[in-house]
A and B are shown apart, each in its own frame.
Chain A
Amino acid sequence: MTAHDANHSGTQHPTQNPTSQGATPVVRTRRAVVVGGNRIPFARAGEVYTKSSNQDMLTAALDGLVARFGLQDERIGEVAAGAVLKHSRDFNLTREAVLGSALSPETPAYDLQQACATGLETVLGLANKIKLGQIESGIAGGVDSASDAPIAVSEGLREVLLDLNRARTLGQKLGILARIRPKDLSPDAPSTGEPRTGLSMGEHQALTTAQWKISRQAQDELALASHQNLAAAYDRGFFEDLLTPYRGLSQDSNLRPDSSLDKLAKLKPAFGRNLGAAATMTAGNSTPLTDGASTVLLGSEEWAASHNLPMLANLIDGETAAVDFVHGKDGLLMAPVFAVPRLLARNALTLADFDFFEIHEAFAGTVLSTLAAWEDESFGRTRLGLAGAFGALDRSKLNVKGSSLAAGHPFAATGGRLVATLAKMLHDRGTVEGRPARGLISVCAAGGQGVAAILEAR
């Protein structure tokens, strides 16, 4: 009996068959290419970027991109970026960053928010506009600060302040002020809890991790590989043209090159302790709260050529999925399990056709649960509507330059990091067996969502 069977015995669910619900292949009028990317090093929350706002960090990442590709005074077709934790004053975060940058002030911009998939979704949205001929160039990006998070006043105080603003007479105002109670003065900080369940993201993943019987050791091994791969990539200078130092930081502060399985094994479980599930998730195999920003430069082939810019990879296609996690039909972070099979079916590809896999490491358990679901016969049949398991991927192709467990995960900035890293890896690899090297990105997000994308080397 598989973990899936155990959890869904006796209940019939419609499948999310990869071919029956996906869109039909698009008419591709032209290609969208990844020119390059730039990010600032990611810092653990409460460290060097503690006083840096989203506006500061996005501007820093954008400045570096403008400098690297000579975009001073360039009117870019559109800039799209976002932040998951956003101050209300930052309603036009991206446009403000553009106005504060060396880009032409005639560059339009919009904000986007899709939780941790924000960054990848900005890439897909702008790539689609380029493919359709609506824009020639685009800059996608994302930023998040867990240190400089917005804190709201309590609901009671907020109502008093709003009512006070509407009051006309002194008597009314005094009456309203008299409603303030001591408890109204305590602030309301953002939490990582899912609004509909009250469980934190880590608690949700702890349930999924237990459901798929992912061992503590397997999670620690994945975390260790992430640190080792990221450290090796830094040592080889891989990030030199992908990163601009900021506030004295020149590499991700969460990186522990000297981490070991012994050290990871000593950490106490951080999630799932009260849930009755086996507690295997620690601070070591979960991503820490992080601050940082990333950007990606996209363009049409014509635009890149006319500006004498490199072309690292083509953005082939993308797919978004969502799962019904609220009552546990699927795990909160398992939507990519459905997005990827749909995406591959539409493009007539299998997991064996890829040379690199970038699966966002929200938690080691997320990556391993995703792989387990794809390898599960019963899940493939009953939930994906396939003849059997979706397939197994070659683990030596997975997150080979490290991922979020080592680099950290400033929510909206992760998509840009993944796209720029993969595009460069693909370009470096060139062709494989006579075809362009191919890579897959998968990002899970709060609210039971997930986004996947295919890139090919040029």
Chain B
Amino acid sequence: MSYPAANVLAGMPSLSKLYVNAAATAAKSRVLGLNSPMTLPADCNEVRGVLADLAKMTEYQHLLGKAARDVMPSGFIHALAFPVAMSVMVREEFPLPLLGMIHLKNRVQHLAPVLFTQPVTIRSWARNLTSHRAGTQVELVVEVRAEGSPELLWRGVSTYLAKGIFLPGVDKPAVAGTGPDAAHGSFTPPDPTGLWHLGVDTGRAYAAVSGDFNPIHLSVLSAKALGMRRSLAHGMYLAARVLADVGSPKPDAFSWEIAFDAPVFLPAAVAVHIADTQTDDGVWVSSQFVGWNARTGRKHFSGTAAVL
């Protein structure tokens, strides 16, 4: 496949600065009444020589409650690469406002184990700007390679929704959208295989290990400022937690995907069900998972992890 041209950044962008810039951009366009561009940037942002911070990785692993190995957890690679994806979304020519975007789903191919000592090149670009019945959705692609190697190690596609933003000229999707408004379908919770008690500090704790200080996750006040009634858990925290529960170590190459439904307002009791498929010899093939509000039965997320 052909790649967009690379716009190589000098170093890893700071997420907190990106959030400040995003807020400033939002204010500026509101004040000046600027019209958003209607197409995505054609090139990709790239950062070379990225090295994980071992202390941060250990904190991340311990937050998820599993043994800390030297191989980077799949969700941690997402967190490591996230500033590059965000740097794409705050570019002036990016047509959607970053703040308030809703995480709809993630698809990841984890093609090989990545040690924390491995310097990597991270590349990210946006694609598939499409209409959603609640707004406009966009996909952010992230690719991770060993520094100086063409071989792909990790590839993630995150789908975000800018709620209430309708861009002229953007095609309607062929299929019905997923996400918050599709969550009201009939869902009967199965028997749980696990129960997560998520405290009010879950968002702050994940922000501290992932660097994702999006205000909607940090506190009731900061969430209210962005129109949420309470703070909510990061989608990537839920994904990482369920991946940890699916089991480890996983095979060298595996894929996973998760679709988010009703947001998890904190504090919360999230019930999960994980169903494994194995070969006749007991070798893991895949796991289906679903998480829901243990009290109300509303679905929060569902997805799959499978051997590649």
Chain A residues proximal to chain B, CB less than 8 Å? 11-14, 183, 195-199, 203, 207, 210-211, 274-277, 326-329
Contact = CB atoms under 8 A, between A and B. Distances in A.
Interface in B279-297: 279-282, 287, 294-295
Given A13-B278, A13-B282, A198 B194 contact: yes
Contacts of A327: 193, 247, 274-276, 287
A334 to B, nearest CB: 14
| Those 9 A-B pairs whose CB atoms lie nearest each other, nearest first | A197-B194, A327-B274, A198-B195, A328-B193, A14-B282, A327-B193, A327-B276, A12-B280, A199-B195
A356 B189 CA distance: 42
B305 to A, nearest CB: 12
Given A276-B192, A326-B245, A328-B273, 8 more contacts: A11-B277, A12-B280, A198-B196, A199-B194, A199-B195, A207-B192, A211-B191, A328-B193
A195 B245 CA distance: 10
B250 interface: no
A13 B192 CA distance: 20
Contacts of B229: none
A452 to B, nearest CB: 23
Contacts of A198: 194-197
A196 B196 CA distance: 10
Contacts of B37: none
B4 interface: no
B11 interface: no
Contacts of A196: 194, 245
Interface string B165-208: 00000000000000000000000011111111100010000000
Given A195-B65, A198-B197, A274-B295, A12 B278 contact: yes
B289 to A, nearest CB: 9
A14 B287 contact: no
Nearest to B193: A328
Nearest to A203: B195
A199 B294 CA distance: 12
Nearest to A8: B275
A243 to B, nearest CB: 39
A197 B66 CA distance: 12
Contacts of B294: 274
B59 to A, nearest CB: 10
A328 B194 CA distance: 9
Nearest to A14: B282
A96 to B, nearest CB: 31
A276 B191 contact: yes
Interface of A is mostly: loop
A197 B193 CA distance: 7
A12 B294 CA distance: 29
Interface string B220-259: 0000000000000000000000000101000000000000
Nearest to A195: B65
A183 B199 CA distance: 12
B191 A277 contact: yes
Nearest to B275: A327
B226 to A, nearest CB: 25
Contacts of B190: 276
A198 B271 CA distance: 9
B193 A276 contact: no
Contacts of A328: 191, 193, 273-275
B207 to A, nearest CB: 16
A198 B279 CA distance: 27
A441 B275 CA distance: 32
A210 B281 CA distance: 28
Contacts of B195: 197-199, 203
A14 B193 contact: no
A276 B189 contact: yes
Nearest to A274: B294
Contacts of B295: 274
A388 to B, nearest CB: 21
B2 to A, nearest CB: 41
Contacts of B197: 198
Nearest to A277: B191
Contacts of A326: 193, 245, 247, 274
Most A CB contacts (10 A, CB to CB) among B192, B280, B282, B287 go to B192
Contacts of A197: 193-195, 245
Nearest to A198: B195
A207 B191 contact: yes
Contacts of B275: 327-328
A199 B192 contact: yes
Nearest to A194: B194
A14 B281 contact: yes
Contacts of B276: 11, 327, 329
B192 A275 contact: yes
Most B CB contacts (10 A, CB to CB) among A11, A197, A211 go to A197
13 contacts: A13-B282, A196-B194, A196-B245, A198-B194, A199-B192, A199-B194, A207-B192, A211-B191, A274-B269, A275-B192, A275-B271, A326-B247, A328-B274
